[in-house]
Amino acid sequence: MAKTRKPEFYPIILAGGRGTRFWPLSRKAFAKQLLPLNSEQSMIQETVARLLPLAPVGNFWVITNGDLRASITRQLKTLPKKQIVAEPIGRNTAPAIGLAAFILHRRNPQAVLGLFPSDQVILKERQFRKDLQTGIALAAAGDNIVVMGVQPTRAETGYGYIETGAAYEGDVMRVRCFREKPEKEVAEQFVAAGNFYWNSGMFLWSAETLVNALRKNLPATAALLEKIAATWGTRKFDATLAKLYPKCEDKSVDYGILEPRSAAGEAGSNIFCIPANWGWNDLGSWAAHFEHRLSQGKQKDNVIASDANFTFEAHGNYIHAPGKFVAAIGVTGLVVVDCGDALLITTIKRSQEVGKIVKYLDQQKNSKLT
């Protein structure tokens, strides 16, 4: 009996975000994904390391921007430099993954592509890879799209949700539809229902499935991406990318591909969800980082990064001031981040609003601080 050929797997890492809610540490030229927020490695280095057991380093692609490409190339020295591609302008996740899909489709239409954010924490990496292997096999088996859904632990309003339907095989379920970021009451209903999962932003599909989905749902963008991909490996690539990519539609994978496809119904869309419990955290704000650091058990009340510190009747504070002595007395729930040229002071509860500072600095054209 002939052995089933193992599908060729290509991790595509999206690393073009600015991480504005991690200002002032996260900047245009050195954004959140380049910071060591979970370990001594940066977020993007961790992302590559956890995927390396599933694919050779030559199969990795990174889609980023011109501000970050040089720093990412320095951090990911083993990756092929030509496969760290800088978008000339941000056009959201559908064109970004689509560009890689059309390039790789020319090489192997049956290759399985995985879309991965560059700035997430995953604690249970073995389980993560096991679930990915299940998803890769399913994506390779036909015109299927696989989404990785995280079991919700709270009624979170900052994430999109995946509503699942009938069981398919093992733990895998069919997807009924995708729900946008809900209001608090709706999020509570989702969690209580038991068949809703957080959308992790991780997807698996064959190159053939993805290019066909783009051709169907975003035909104008697909035509542009196909023209760009045709120049890959030639001297014309950079100029063609710069000329045509800005004309692509600014669409996310969710809006551009998944939602239109899910309209066919759970039995007809061939979208599947693998529910995951990996110790996942997208570290979406200083508050999330504070909670993550506490969960690691290294600090029990305040989280303080400094040379030394003294606290008295101070509770639940996050303070980042490397190289300094920090003293905190009688304060609760503060976020203080000192990085030399900028000082952030806010509260744990309002740390989601830090992006407003970056918006203000952009309006003031203060490029030194953004």
Same-domain check for residues 311 and 175: no
Does residue 1 form part of some domain?
A: no
Same-domain check for residues 300 and 242: no
Residue 3, pLDDT > 60, answer no
Same-domain check for residues 87 and 131: yes
Residue 35, pLDDT > 70, answer yes
Q: Domain limits at 354?
A: 286-369
Same-domain check for residues 269 and 339: no
Lowest mean pLDDT of 33-47, 50-64, 240-254, 282-296, name the range: 282-296
Beta strands at 343-347 and 334-338: parallel, antiparallel or unpaired: antiparallel
Does residue 97 form part of some domain?
A: yes
Q: Which amino acid is at 118?
A: S
Does residue 175 form part of some domain?
A: yes
Same-domain check for residues 234 and 336: no
Where among 281, 306, 328 does a domain terminate?
281
Same-domain check for residues 169 and 233: yes
Same-domain check for residues 206 and 306: no
Express each pLDDT in 103-133 by its tens digit.
Answer: 999 999 999 999 999 999 999 999 999 999 9
pTM: 0.92
Mean pLDDT along residues 215-243: 97
Q: Which amino acid is at 229?
A: A
Where among 281, 303, 319 does a domain terminate?
281
Phi, psi of 23 (to 5 degrees): -65, 145
Does residue 4 form part of some domain?
A: no
Same-domain check for residues 252 and 296: no
The pLDDT of residue 216: 96
Mean pLDDT of the chain, nearest integer: 94
Where among 281, 305, 338 does a domain terminate?
281
Same-domain check for residues 341 and 202: no
H/E element holding 185?
helix 184-193
Express each pLDDT in 238-273 by its tens digit.
Answer: 999 999 999 999 999 999 999 999 999 999 999 999
Residues facing 275 on adjacent strands: 149
Does residue 22 form part of some domain?
A: yes
Does residue 3 form part of some domain?
A: no
Q: How many CB atoms lie within 10 A of CB 23?
A: 24
Does residue 127 form part of some domain?
A: yes
CATH number at residue 70: 3.90.550.10
CA 98 to chain CA centroid, nearest Å? 16
Same-domain check for residues 216 and 330: no
Q: How far is 361 from 370, CA to CA, in rounded Å?
A: 7
Same-domain check for residues 301 and 257: no
Residues facing 197 on adjacent strands: 162
Name, in order, each residue with C-beta under 8 angstroms of 272's C-beta and a sequence gap of 6 or more: 135, 138, 144, 145, 146, 147, 168, 172, 173, 174, 175
Same-domain check for residues 253 and 349: no
- Total domains in the chain come to 2
Q: How far is 22 from 68, CA to CA, in rounded Å?
A: 16
Express each pLDDT in 83-104 by its tens digit.
Answer: 999 999 999 999 999 999 999 9
